[in-house]
Amino acid sequence: MTNINPPATATPEPPAPTPSVPPPEVPARLRGRRRGNRWGGCLPWALILAVLATGFLVWKFPSFRAQAELGSAYAARVGCSCRYVQGRSLESCATDFEPGMELVSLSEDPATKTITGSVPLLASRSARYAGASGCLLRPAD
């Protein structure tokens, strides 16, 4: 008869102890110095990021301003037609805006029948109700 059980495995020997290595000697000129302050590694990167962000805004500002001008003119014209041609309230006219025009606000001057659409700090345009001609945009300043 043959034995099918594997032979007992020998227990592994524990690893030989390694000699302890003393820590490296710190040069005298570096002893007692702090390794940097809290902002030492972040400050250059933060400055570079700020310069890049400012450059991007300066480069894209004409485009932002043109879009704001277009959006405020559109809002003034649609708001004026809605308010004075259709006779709806100014609050309901704001629901006629296209998606993406959340920054545009409307204001009304009932004495002159003028609606002003504005994007804060960028653009503002007005449209005036002209009777049978409908609503006309006022020329840009």
From first to last of its 141 residues, the chain has per-residue pLDDT tens of 566 766 666 666 777 666 677 777 877 776 765 555 555 667 788 888 998 988 887 777 788 888 889 999 999 999 999 999 999 998 888 888 888 888 899 999 999 999 999 999 889 999 999 988 889 998 876
- Identify the pLDDT of residue 7: 62
Q: 13 vs 10, 27, 68, CA distance in Å?
A: 9, 41, 78
| Token code pair at residue 104 | 């545009």
d(C-alpha 17, C-alpha 21), whole Å: 12
> Does the global pTM surpass 0.85?
no
